[in-house]
Amino acid sequence: MIQKRYVHAVVLFLSVCFFVCSVCVIKTVPDDMDGFGAQEDASFDHLTVAEQALALLPKKLIKVGFVQVGHESDWRIAATKSCKEAFSEENGYELYFVDADNDPKVQVEAVRSFIKEPVDYIVIDPILTTGWTAVLKEAYHAHIPVILLDRTIDCKEQYYAAWFGSDFVREGELAGQWLQNYLNRQDRGAQEIHIVTINGTQGASAQLGRTEGFARYLGKNDNWKLLAQDCGDFTESGGKAVMEAYLKTYSKIDVVVCQNDNEALGACAAMDEADISYGVDGDVIVISFDATKAGLQAVLEGKINADFECNPLSPPYAAEAIRRMEAGEQPEKKHYYLPEECFAAEEDPMVLMVNFESERMITVTEELLDDREY
Ligand code: AHR
């Protein structure tokens, strides 16, 4: 017993010596050294030795598990780049990134692996609206806050801290209203108009919302005939394949609504191959969503008539929400919409109005493209 007490006393003595020496060694680190733990604060001196030692310890990185939809489009690539920048080590994060390659099962498995790790926060850009309740309940019971980006899900709000993304229904409505006004400008307001749509991934809120919003204008215009709506999976190859099939089936197409820029570029390629004219001076009006650099380049060239922005830069909002949660704050709201704009090839841009909020279309120019981040 006495021997045991003696050993404890020696261990305690050595620990104190080690701690004091560590503080002395750490204190020799120059004040201007960059990186975690280096304090340039002049008020450092008033801290106790123990507090100084703690302040000089490297700060713990915040572990964030991020599950991305995939890499199907230019928009998605820009969103992934933004995620990696926002959750960089430099910013204080350790990022666990999973690209689900458009497979909903992989997304759920990724979230389970984040819970098991465990990470401090989970960020999800969900492929589909469905299939989330069970795994999000698991995260909730493991006390890991979840932040949703871009697309929405069908799930009780208590299972996630906040969502940052786009108003997809509004995007669809803006597209519908633009088409209505554009046809009126061309004196075609009463003509029979044959429309095809190339939809995004079936069951994604981006697809559901844009379809719903545009359908409101289909309902308001009896002369608009919706010939077909097939899925192009938000990819260029998907858009091309669907458009090729449409061109073989329908002899007259007046409008193609593509639910993202990559599908629109694919549809344009199919029309080029079939020798069908489109865009500003052509027979087929092309409408698109996203407003990526490639999409806006096509607007500038008169290939896409109008492009409705979907903002891919939501990761910095998630990083800011996490910073605030770390400081003990909770997001004030559940849902935050990102700022978005509408673009057209016309020099005389129209003003649209959805839900009493007006939107002035922006004419695409070379300068605008030069400054475009994504
Ligand atoms: O969820 C946003 C959509 O997904 C974008 O429109 C598309 O480009 C992406 O792949």
Confidence of residue 346 (pLDDT cuts 50, 70, 90): confident
Instruction: Measure the CA–CA gap between 126 and 150, rounded to whole angstroms.
Output: 8
In sequence order, which residues have a C-beta less than 8 Å from that of residue 248 and are 6 or more positions away? Answer: none
Tell me if domain 60-165+312-337 and domain 168-310+341-371 are identical in fold. Answer: yes
Q: Is ligand 1 within 6 A of the CB of residue 150?
A: yes
Per-residue confidence (pLDDT) for residue 161, from 0 to 100: 98
Domain segments of the chain as ranges: 60-165+312-337, 168-310+341-371
Per-residue confidence (pLDDT) for residue 4, from 0 to 100: 45
Determine if residue 187 is left, alpha or beta; phi over 0 gives left, psi from -120 to 50 gives alpha, anything else beta: left
- Please classify residue 31 by burial: count the beta carbons closer than 10 Å to its beta carbon, then call 0-12 exposed, 13-18 middle and 19+ buried: exposed
Pairing of β 193-199 and β 224-231 = parallel
Contact 310, 291 (CB under 8 A): yes
Per-residue confidence (pLDDT) for residue 43, from 0 to 100: 57
pLDDT at 261 over 80: yes
Distance 310 CA to ligand 1 centre (A): 8
Instruction: Measure the CA–CA gap between 296 and 333, rounded to whole angstroms.
Output: 33
Return the closest-CA partner of residue 221 out of 256, 255, 179, 259.
179
Distance 102 CA to ligand 1 centre (A): 11
Which of the residue ranges 57-61, 242-246, 285-289 would you say has the lowest mean pLDDT? 57-61
Identity at 118, one-letter amino acid code: P
Of 99 and 9, the structure prediction assigns the larger pLDDT to 99
* Mean per-residue pLDDT, 193-213: 98
* Mean per-residue pLDDT, 369-374: 94
Which of the residue ranges 51-55, 101-105, 207-211 would you say has the lowest mean pLDDT? 51-55
Q: Which two tokens stand for residue 265?
A: 């570029």
357 has which bridge partners? 354
pLDDT at 39 over 70: no
Q: Is ligand 1 within 6 A of the CB of residue 309?
A: no
pLDDT at 195 over 60: yes
pLDDT at 35 over 80: no
Nearest atom in ligand 1 to 289's CA: 6
**CATH class as words, domain 60-165+312-337:** alpha beta
pLDDT at 153 over 50: yes
Per-residue confidence (pLDDT) for residue 54, from 0 to 100: 67
Measured between alpha carbons, how far apart are the two ends of the chain, in Å?
71
Q: Is ligand 1 within 6 A of the CB of residue 260?
A: yes
pLDDT, one tens digit per residue, over 297-339 is 999 999 999 999 999 999 999 999 999 999 999 999 999 999 9
* Mean per-residue pLDDT, 210-217: 98
Distance 69 CA to ligand 1 centre (A): 9
Question: May I ask the CATH architecture of the domain 168-310+341-371?
Answer: 3-Layer(aba) Sandwich (3.40)
* Mean per-residue pLDDT, 63-71: 98
Phi, psi of 355 (to 5 degrees): 50, 45
Ligand 1, residues 72, 73, 211, 261: which to mutate, most atoms within 8 A of Cβ?
A: 73
